[in-house]
Structure 1
Amino acid sequence: TQRLSRDRYQRQKPRRPHFVTAPSTHILIPIFSTSHMAKTGEMTKERNTRNTKIQCSKKPKLDTIVISSDDSDDPEACVICPGGTPATCLASTSYTPIKIDGPRLVIPAVDPLCTQLQGEAVVYNEGCDVYDATLSQTSVQANQNKFFSLQLLKDKLYDIYYVWFHWGRLGEKGSCSLTPCEDDIVKAKLLFEQKFLQKTRNEWENRRKFVKVPGKYNMLKMDYESSVENESDKFENIVKEIHKSSNESRLQPSLTEVMRFISDVKAMEKNVVEMQFDIRKMPLGKLKKEQIQAGYKALRKIENCLDSACFGSSLTDACNEFYSCIPHAFGRRRPDVINTREKIQEKMQLLEALEDIEVAVRLHQNELKVKNIHPLDRFYASLHCELTELDKNDSDYQLVSWYLSSSHGETHMQYRLELQHLFRVNKSEHAARFVSLEPRMLLWHGSRASNWAGILSEGLRIAPSHVPSSGYMFDKGVYFADCVSKSANYCWPNPKVQEGILALCEVSLGNMKKLVNADTNVIKRIHGYNSVMGQGRNIPDKKDNVILPDGVVVPCGKLVKSALVHSANLHYNEYIVYNTNQIKIRYLVKVRFGKR
């Protein structure tokens, strides 16, 4: 049979199906008479075949997925999967954009585990209200690390509704149930909203003011709105767009290479998966900033517990809160108790990586209406930052090359740095607000490849107040070094690629407070100072300093032992500023980490 044209479908209203119970299942399945299907031609061949099989006396093949041990409090029926257990039940969630009045809405796909309705139903929405929710709950004490997903589904052709529940341990397939509600949308919404209330103790209609209740699930906040009208805003399509674009890049090959390097969303995804983040329950590119901020706040509570030596229920409650905000896949292992400052730093790196992904995806989405240019050219344009490559014969190139080779620390001899490309940076917005305070020095700053999209577009940033202070030797600020390898260690190069990016920044240091020991609360004690210098045991030889025509000092002398060799705790100098207006990026340096 062939599907009716749109006009004919509107003229001939389809007959509402009745429901029967499939043998040995908990699911009601809509049945259409064969005469009705032949008469109207409404059903596709696929749906016709499916329903004909169900009417036969033979018992359909059914598998039951094992219920996770996390589900003792979840009384839903076992999953019913005609045709066997699907292998892709926890594949990354995809999204279908639809147009509505106001912001464009991106509707999540039907859960891949719901094989009965794949391609035949959609997630129901009323305007901007999308009836889709993913919940998370972790209990370190009870070894619980579980999710609960809810979807209200609507048949694509008929006003038939279903309510879908999927639950289990994070990282596993789990269990599910499907409840048909015929044409009763009120019943479907009531079932959905009652389950949401049962699991969270929050009313569905008040979910935008969601309050986590102890012992109940937390709601993961997803971003369903988008200002982009092209489907390539999907995270999973960004890489395909770059590799399959028919448009040639107009950028210099070296600049194209850098843009590809700092916008590699697939590498970013791999990075967070290695940190045990569960991307299947919280799709990358759909994560809201407020969800990440909630993770930071939970880490701050953990830090406060460590500061006050509270290692009991207060600490485990804070850990549970963090994992409920930021889902982790631990398998069957007990979720880790975050009980050291090193573990706090690891989780902070995860949250920073998630922020980087949010920035990179947003920049990829910018200016998508311009379809006749390469996506990497678009990405470069969205940075609003001019990068000009310098020739090897340029005097600036030679100075930077010397600075790089002369300032390699003696404790970092496991690798050597090779200068690949050097770019002069022009960001007029940052140059306009730059505050000049003498002395001004040209200093190194290193960071992960994934950070540079945010740095070039928004500048170097200082961690906000809700971020834990663990890992900051001299409080929250922007850190620089006159030892290139000190900064290069923060590039964390991919073992396969062994490349990284550093910035050479003009830093207004002004009146410096000089310290030989770490002070994590120094910002409270620097009234009257513009910066902090952590003095190291190895320092550049001052007699080889170079002063540029504009007065900037380049400490490019060979590293020598300082007079503080026996009293300083730091191997190398560190410079910290607490006002980003004292920073101007002058050069972007792409390096290779070679073997000695």
Structure 2
Amino acid sequence: PAATPALLPPPGPGHVPSQLPEEHRALMALLVDVKGLRRATQATPLDVELLTLEDLDRKPLLEAKEVLLKLRDVVQRTEAIQTEIQALSNPESGPEPPGARDALHSERAALADRVLEYSNAVYEILPLQAGWQHPKALDRMRKVQGMLHHIETLLDVEYAKKVVLAARHRASVRDPLDYAYAATGATLKALSPAEDVYVMIAQYMQRGLQAGGTPPKINALFSVDCPAERNRFDRIGNHRLLWHGTHASNVIAILTQGLRVAPPDAESHGTAFGRGIYFADVFRKSWAYCGGDRGRGEPQQ
């Protein structure tokens, strides 16, 4: 049987029998696995002693995100000013307007003060772990994007945590993994290995690896039906099978809320073409985003 996460009570006397097929139970056990959720918090530079999984609070995360979005605008303008200053030194730009350079330097200095103000505000809301470097100003877009990415990860973990705690609270009347599955609002159908779609996806995985690469073992493939998105999906005729990689800790939020446009919080190497929802037509490209810590012998999932 599928492993039951540590934060959920183990089956015992009076345990309510599960109504889920074994493939669904195995999937839900992975998605609400507390060890995996804790690893997701520990992968961020934020102080997980103050952000323990059980006490992870959405409010300060949203407060920090709001400050970071303001900081993003300031950093964007600062970087634009630097470009404008460089353009003034270009002979092809024509004569330099009187006072233009001084005005830009003055504006940049004022923005630098705001960068420090907003950076300090973020660290006051969400302190860093003791082992990380002394907090520095978030004065580059990649730094802001990186911190926003960490906060988005924690927001997804916090959502999954709520599902786990609610499942534990109702364990006397409903199997915890059954509750977690129902909480997503999605309908998952396990595909048979004999189905054409299953065979096609397995072939795409094999062909999308590096030469000589070994494809991961397929435990199960599911089709997903989200009622809130069904009408929009049916209205669009341009249907394609594409890959999208993400960590297991994000999937509960994705099943519930759908894939979200990558905000300015996505990692810089993951937004090469601007904001949007990213897909790939080759398996290995998306697989790289699926998590797992090879240094600790943990598989990508």
Match status 1:498 vs 2:299 = yes
The letter for the 2-side match of 1:275 is: T
Deviation by residue 1:197-251 (Cα, 9 ceiling, x = unmatched): xxxxxxxxxxxxxxxxxxxxxxxxxxxxxxxxxxxxxxxxx94453523235443
The partner residue of 1:244 within 3, 6, 10 is 10
- Structure 1 residues 469 and 404, CA gap change in structure 2 (3 angstroms): closer
Match status 1:486 vs 2:285 = yes
The letter for the 1-side match of 2:10 is: K
Q: Distance in 2 between matches of 1:414 and 1:317?
A: 49
Which residue number corresponds to residue 405 of structure 1?
206
- Structure 1 residues 270 and 341, CA gap change in structure 2 (3 angstroms): same
Q: CA deviation at 1:259?
A: 0.8
The answer to whether the Cα contact below 8 Å between 1:383 and 1:453 also exists between their aligned partners in 2 is yes
The partner residue of 2:156 within 347, 356, 365 is 356
The partner residue of 2:141 within 319, 329, 341 is 341
The letter for the 2-side match of 1:396 is: V
Q: Distance in 2 between matches of 1:253 and 1:497?
A: 23
Q: How does 1:373-412 map to 2 (within 5 A)?
A: 373-408=174-209
The answer to whether the Cα contact below 8 Å between 1:262 and 1:452 also exists between their aligned partners in 2 is yes
Q: Distance in 1 between matches of 2:6 and 2:208?
A: 40
Q: CA deviation at 1:451?
A: 0.6
Q: CA deviation at 1:390?
A: 1.9
* Structure with the largest fraction of helix: 2
The partner residue of 1:276 within 45, 49, 53 is 45
With normalisation by structure 2, the TM-score equals 0.74
Q: Distance in 1 between matches of 2:34 and 2:149?
A: 16
The answer to whether the Cα contact below 8 Å between 2:60 and 2:125 also exists between their aligned partners in 1 is yes
* Structure with the largest fraction of strand: 1
Q: Distance in 2 between matches of 1:372 and 1:468?
A: 39
Q: Distance in 1 between matches of 2:133 and 2:201?
A: 49
- Structure 1 residues 422 and 341, CA gap change in structure 2 (3 angstroms): same
Q: Secondary structure at the match of 1:258?
A: helix
* Count of aligned positions: 259
Q: Gaps (5+ residues) in structure 2?
A: 80-107
Match status 1:319 vs 2:119 = yes
The partner residue of 2:245 within 424, 427, 446 is 446
Q: Secondary structure at the match of 1:358?
A: helix
Q: Distance in 2 between matches of 1:460 and 1:344?
A: 22
Q: CA deviation at 1:400?
A: 1.3
- Structure 1 residues 469 and 281, CA gap change in structure 2 (3 angstroms): closer
Greater relative CO, 1 or 2 (CA 8 Å, sep 6+): 2
Deviation by residue 1:102-133 (Cα, 9 ceiling, x = unmatched): xxxxxxxxxxxxxxxxxxxxxxxxxxxxxxxx
The letter for the 2-side match of 1:317 is: E
The partner residue of 1:433 within 232, 236, 246 is 232
The letter for the 2-side match of 1:373 is: R
Deviation by residue 1:160-179 (Cα, 9 ceiling, x = unmatched): xxxxxxxxxxxxxxxxxxxx
Q: Distance in 1 between matches of 2:226 and 2:38?
A: 29
Q: CA deviation at 1:432?
A: 2.8
- Structure 1 residues 379 and 394, CA gap change in structure 2 (3 angstroms): same
The letter for the 1-side match of 2:159 is: V
The answer to whether the Cα contact below 8 Å between 1:469 and 1:475 also exists between their aligned partners in 2 is no
The letter for the 2-side match of 1:254 is: E
Q: Secondary structure at the match of 2:62?
A: helix
Q: How does 1:221-240 map to 2 (within 5 A)?
A: 239-240=5-6
- Structure 1 residues 390 and 282, CA gap change in structure 2 (3 angstroms): closer
Q: Distance in 2 between matches of 1:279 and 1:481?
A: 33
Q: Which moved more, 1:423-432 or 1:279-288?
A: 279-288
Q: Considering only CA atoms, is the larger Rg found in Structure 1 or Structure 2?
A: 1
Q: Distance in 1 between matches of 2:209 and 2:132?
A: 44
Q: How does 1:105-120 map to 2 (within 5 A)?
A: none
Deviation by residue 1:241-300 (Cα, 9 ceiling, x = unmatched): 535232354433332221111112332223322323223334434444342222223323
Q: Distance in 2 between matches of 1:359 and 1:407?
A: 32
The answer to whether the Cα contact below 8 Å between 1:242 and 1:374 also exists between their aligned partners in 2 is no
The letter for the 2-side match of 1:402 is: Q
Q: CA deviation at 1:449?
A: 0.6
Which residue number corresponds to residue 477 of structure 1?
276
The letter for the 1-side match of 2:75 is: L
Q: Gaps (5+ residues) in structure 1?
A: 1-237, 501-596
With normalisation by structure 1, the TM-score equals 0.40
- Structure 1 residues 332 and 260, CA gap change in structure 2 (3 angstroms): closer
Which residue number corresponds to residue 134 of structure 1?
none
Q: Distance in 2 between matches of 1:380 and 1:262?
A: 10
The letter for the 2-side match of 1:291 is: P
Q: Distance in 2 between matches of 1:418 and 1:407?
A: 14
Q: Secondary structure at the match of 2:278?
A: strand
Q: CA deviation at 1:408?
A: 3.2
- Structure 1 residues 303 and 250, CA gap change in structure 2 (3 angstroms): same
Q: Secondary structure at the match of 1:334?
A: coil
- Structure 1 residues 469 and 382, CA gap change in structure 2 (3 angstroms): closer
The answer to whether the Cα contact below 8 Å between 1:303 and 1:344 also exists between their aligned partners in 2 is yes
Q: Distance in 2 between matches of 1:425 and 1:332?
A: 40
Q: Distance in 2 between matches of 1:364 and 1:348?
A: 24
The letter for the 1-side match of 2:172 is: K
Q: Secondary structure at the match of 1:457?
A: helix
Match status 1:417 vs 2:216 = yes
